[in-house]
């Protein structure tokens, strides 16, 4: 049987009062989000806001020569389309699916109509934006001062926080692109973590057998980002039926 889906698998949507949620529900469209799909390019006009449920989206800063690096990620904790309610229709970042899954999209006009009501959706969207800003600034600091191994640990942990299991499908080439390092550097960091038994990499799959040990190898940046996220957007306790779908 096909896996059931519901917008309530996204924590922002789960936090909405029933009245607000039901007002949006008829306009919510379930969409597959395949690995590597570019939801939007830098400078593009966004027609939708996306609420990932079982997928993860990377926000990338892109240079004129095409090189890029990840500045933040979002998954079932937030949304893709912050620019729609902050600075107009376009976004300065490229948004690419780094972990395949599903999500729901909402037309920009519908989202802005609800946002302009000034209710809880607006409040949550702004808090999510503040959490993204923290993630971006801490990522910049991490990339400047910490080793590739520490950066990889941070990246893996933040990704796993947004997935229902301790396993993810991520090609090595994608990891190097996300971290903004050479593929050889990413391969060496992966090899070191695997040799130490912290991860198990096979054919683009990464399994983390013991999160506690991986957290021990990560730098302080992971803790700073997660604490701020928990302060701004404490995770909602999902109803049992929705939690069962997400598991």
pLDDT in tens, 56-103: 999 998 888 877 888 999 999 999 999 888 866 677 789 999 999 999
- This prediction's pTM: 0.90
DSSP letter assigned to residue 8: G
Rg of the chain over Cα atoms, rounded to whole angstroms, equals: 18
- The torsion of the CA quartet 222, 228, 229, 231, rounded to 10 degrees, works out to 140
CATH 2.60.120.10 domain range(s) in the chain: 7-143+225-246
| CATH number of the domain located at residue range(s) 147-218 in this protein | 1.10.10.10
CATH 1.10.10.10 domain range(s) in the chain: 147-218
State the residue for tokens 């599903």: 102
21 versus 236: which is more confidently predicted? 21
Q: Residue 140: is it exposed, middle or buried by C-beta count within 10 angstroms (0-12/13-18/19+)?
A: middle
pLDDT for 68 equals 82
Domain 7-143+225-246: what homologous superfamily? Jelly Rolls (2.60.120.10)
User: What mean pLDDT is reported for the chain?
Assistant: 89
Please state, in angstroms and rounded to a whole number, the distance separating the CA atoms of residues 104 and 225: 25
Mean per-residue pLDDT, 110-115: 95
Q: Residue 1: is its pLDDT beyond 70?
A: no
């Amino acid at each position: 049987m096909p896996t059931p889906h519901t917008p309530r698998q996204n924590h922002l949507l789960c936090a909405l009062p029933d009245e607000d949620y039901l007002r949006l529900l008829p306009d919510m469209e379930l969409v597959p989000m395949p690995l590597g799909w570019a939801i939007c390019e830098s400078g593009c006009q966004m027609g939708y806001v996306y609420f990932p449920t079982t997928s993860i989206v990377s926000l990338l800063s892109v240079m004129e020569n095409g090189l890029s690096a990840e500045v933040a990620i979002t998954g079932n904790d937030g949304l893709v389309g912050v620019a729609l309610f902050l600075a107009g229709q376009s976004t300065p970042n490229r948004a690419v699916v780094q972990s395949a899954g599903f999500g729901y999209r909402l037309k920009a006009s519908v989202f802005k109509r609800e946002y302009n009501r000034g209710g809880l959706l607006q409040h949550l969207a702004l808090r999510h934006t503040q959490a993204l800003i923290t993630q971006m600034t801490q990522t910049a600091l991490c990339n400047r001062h910490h080793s590739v191994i520490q950066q990889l640990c941070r990246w893996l942990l933040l990704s796993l926080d947004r997935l229902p299991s301790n396993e993810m499908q991520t090609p090595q080439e994608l990891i190097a692109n996300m971290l903004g390092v050479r593929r050889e550097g990413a391969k060496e960091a992966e090899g070191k973590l695997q040799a130490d038994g912290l991860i198990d990499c096979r054919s683009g799959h990464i399994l983390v057998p013991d999160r506690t040990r991986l957290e021990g190898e990560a730098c302080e940046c992971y803790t700073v980002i997660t604490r701020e996220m928990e302060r701004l957007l404490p995770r909602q306790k999902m109803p049992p039926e929705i939690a069962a779908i997400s598991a």
